[in-house]
Structure formats: C-alpha cells, structure tokens
Structure 1
Amino acid sequence: MSNTFIRPTALHHVAISTGDIKKQIEFFSDVLGMELIGLYWMHGAEGAWHGFMRLGASAVAFVFLPENVKKETTIGLTHAGIGSGSSAPGTLQHLAFNVDTEKEMLALRDRIRSRGVPVMGPIKHGLCQSIYFAGPETLVLEVATNDHCENPLDLDGSWIDPEVVKLAGISQEELARYQNPATYDTPAESVPQPEYDESKPHLTYPEEQYKAILAATDEQITASMTDDQPPGKK
C-alpha cells in the first residue's frame, strides 16, 4: 500500500478534564446548542466518565475522574483565563469553534448572551474573525469564522511574518519544509514499535506498565484493550 498524502484531515475530538461533567454538559447543550452523543464509563480508566458533545463531524469530550475534584484551577498556570493569557505548556489555552458565516457567528453570540453569558466581539484578526466568552471551570471559548476575511488559512504565505519566523529560530530551509511537509510512502508491512528513546514524547503510564505496553504487539494491545460495545446495547 502506498499513499503520499496521508495526514490528519479534521478535528476528531478535544478532550477536557472536568470536576463537574453535568455542569459542562448543561452549558454546552443549552448555551451552545450542542448535542450530547455519549456519556459512559471511560474505557481503561477506573472511576472515570467520558462525555461527548457533537461538534459537526467532530466532538468536544469531557473526562471526569474523582481526583479532578481535588485539583485547583490556577489562572496563569493550569488555565489561561483569557484568549491571550498564559498557561503551562501542554495545557488547553482556549477552544475555538467554527461557523461558516459572520451571520451565524452573530446569531450564536445572541444565543450565548440570552443565557446570561457575556460575549466579547466580534474581533477581526484578518485570518479570521471571532467572539470570545467563558465556559464552566474557567474554560476560554471562541467562535470563529473565515467569512469576510482576507486569505483565510491560505497557503500563499500571507500570514507568515518574517520577524516572528526569525524570533522562533526557524531558518528559511526549515520554513520551506514546514510549508511543504515531506510526503510518505506507506510500506507494505507495518513499521515496528521503536525502541524507547527518552528524547521522544511519551505517555506517562507507570514505567513498568509502559514498558510492557511497548513490548506488546499491536494485535495484543487491540485484543486486550478494546471495548467497542455501546453501553446502551450491552
């Protein structure tokens, strides 16, 4: 099998930790009009619940673990607090939803405000235009549209600032590579699991368990961890 254009094509879901999953479901359903499509015990995580809210062909997911309730929200550390705020590397800074037109964005602004939630905007960024508001547990939320915007998410380089490229330590050769990622020919046989390398990103399982996972075959992982039966049909 060979395909030089294998790449992610869309958002499948964004997972957000919560200490009050009912509050999040209520907000996303009532304030934003999103449908609850899944609420069940999270597979492979003892005591955890997973909730999914429909976002077009994607979803916003919430993960509740009892330990979440005991953890504090700290603005500037765990949460940014505003769309331009700081938070620790690897945490959710803000979550942006897309709508197709400016009219839809303003209509959604009216819906959000009708629920008593303040909304800031629209703000025109050039690349897109957006409105901003807060969600439960200090989420920073955005609704954005490319409507009436110049070269939205274009590949012509209009939104690549040479000054920022330099400040980020990106060479011209690297920039060209980032703008035109290398293609990849899928081999006839699956690539084996690589040897453990500390310089690479890793999931933070307990060390012994993680090494056992890495030593297992893909077929063993699939067989031992799969649970694909909907709870309503068991």
Structure 2
Amino acid sequence: MINLKRFHHVAYRCMDTKETVEWYKDKLNMELTVAIAENEVPSTKAPDPYMHTFLDAGMGNVLAFFEIPNSPKMGRDENTPTWVQHIALEVEDLDALVAAKEELEGKGVEVLGPVNHGVFKSIYFFDPNGHRLELAANTGTPEQFAELKRVAPLMVEEWSQTKRAPRHAAWLHEQD
C-alpha cells in the first residue's frame, strides 16, 4: 500500500532561473536549497541542457523550477483560463495574509483579494514567469472541514453525471 508523506517537490518551468530564484527570495522569503544542472536528461537521456532549482516553501514542501533554454519559448495553455492553474501556499492566519498582501504590494506586486472562499481567504498574484500564485489562510472550523470532506464524494458523483455545480457546499460562497 502506498503511504505518501508530503510533496517532495512540485516543478514548473521558468524563463530565467536567476530572476525566478531572486523573485521568490525577495517576494516570498523562500530560500534556494538545491540547484542541479545537466546537459542530458537523466530519465530520458535526451541531450537537453537544463537548470533545476529547488526553493523551500516551508514545512518540508519544495517548489522547483526548470529552465530549459533549448526548448521553444515558454507559453501557457490558451484553452485554460489563467485563474485555473496556480500554486497555492498557506500562511498562518488572516492577519498574516493581510500583512503578506501589504508586503507584496510594497514590493511592486499587483495583488487581488483577499477573496473569501468560505473556509479560507486568499490573495492572488503572478510571478515573473506568468505563474499564478495564491496565498491562503484557513478560516473554517473543524466541523466545516468535516462537512466538506463528507460531501466531496457526493459532489464528484453528481458533477460526473450533470456537469453542473452541485449545491452541497454552496454555503462556502454565500457567506461574507
């Protein structure tokens, strides 16, 4: 039986390694922990130079980036709205979220939010590669999270049949 501990790392592509590392260090206080570079991809043996960097996202979580200069220019899936694919990081509480927004704006980052999601509030912004980032602070009660877990399978099943939003957790966005 597979027993997962946590994410080892989540990897995204970047346009410029140095700019990306400096941005995450300056804007989110993340520390560069590992840099790996090869001229050949270990898993495929393809001759494709890359730089792979790892940044500490706290509590053993790692956000990683690849710069791959011999590939076509980096883009995004034009069929997926920009709000869909994002990297969400948790902060301690609502005060920390508000302080993070102020700090980011003070560093010249355009920030949206806080947005209320019922059991957490979030702010949103983009890194220099165009990746959307979210900082989230949990605000829900244990009972609310238990109810969400209870109805999740029911919602997935209903969605699979109707492709319309089930109402089991509509209360999330009906609150202030």
Same fold, judged at TM 0.5 (above): yes
**Structure 1 contact 95–142 (Cα < 8 Å) conserved:** yes
The match for 2:169 is none
- In 2, distance between residues paired with 1:165 and 1:80? 24
Q: Determine helix, strand or coil for the equivalent of 1:142.
A: strand
Q: How far off its partner does 1:71 sit?
A: 2.4
Q: Please give the alpha-carbon distance, in whole angstroms, between the structure 1 residues aligned to 2:116 and 2:124.
A: 12
Q: What is the distance in 2 between the residues matched to 1:19 and 1:30? A: 17
Partner SS for 1:100: coil
1:205 maps to which residue? none
Deviations 1:72-128 (A, max 9, x none): 424634x642x24xxxxxxxx110011121111111112211110111111110132
2:35 is aligned with 1:39: yes
- Determine if contact 1:80/1:140 at 8 Å carries over to the other structure: no
CA distance 1:152–1:109, shift in 2 (3 Å): farther
Matched with 1:154 is 145
Which amino acid in 2 is paired with 1:53? L
Q: Give yes or no for contact 2:120–2:137 (8 Å, CA) kept in 1.
A: yes
- Report what 1:117 is aligned to: 109
What's 1:206 paired with? none
SS at match of 1:66: coil
Counterpart residue number, 1:52: 54
> Equivalent of 2:128, from 133, 136, 140?
136
For the 8 Å contact 2:49–2:70, the answer to whether it is kept is no
Aligned partners of 1:137, 1:16: CA distance in 2, in Å? Answer: 10
8 Å CA contact 1:122–1:131 kept in 2: the answer is: yes
Q: CA offset at residue 25 of structure 1?
A: 0.7
Relative distance call for 1:150 and 1:126 in structure 2 (3 A) is: farther
1:164-179 pair list within 5 angstroms? 165-169=157-161
Across the aligned residues of Structure 1 and Structure 2, the Cα RMSD in angstroms comes to 2.7
Structure 2 distance, partners of 1:17, 1:26, is: 15
Against the structure 1 CA distance between its residues 138 and 159, is the aligned structure 2 distance closer, same or farther, given a 3 Å change threshold?
Answer: farther
Structure 1 runs, 4 residues or longer, greater than 4 Å off? 161-164
Q: With structure 1 as the length reference, what TM-score do the two structures score? A: 0.58
Unmatched segments (≥5 aa) in structure 1: 85-92, 171-234
Q: Is the 8 A contact 2:15 2:74 kept in 1?
A: no
| Aligned pair partner of 1:105 in 97, 101, 113 | 97
Q: Which whole-Å CA distance do the structure 1 matches of 2:31 and 2:16 have between them? A: 18
By percentage of residues, which structure has more strand?
Answer: 2
Aligned to 1:184: none
Give 1:12 shift. 2.0
- Greater C-alpha Rg: 1
Counterpart contact for 1:131–1:144, Cα < 8 Å: yes
Report SS of the residue matched to 2:129: helix
CA contact (8 A) 1:80 1:94 kept: no
**What percent of counterpart residues are identical?**
27
Partners of 2:144 and 2:75 in 1: how far apart?
33
Residue 126 of structure 1 corresponds to 118
Structure 2 gap ranges (5+):
163-176
> What TM-score results when the alignment is normalised by the length of structure 2?
0.74
* Cα distance in 2 between the residues matched to 1:152 and 1:54: 31
After superposition, what is the alpha-carbon deviation per residue over 1:3-41, rounded to whole angstroms, capped at 9, x for unaligned? x6x522322211011221112111101011111111221
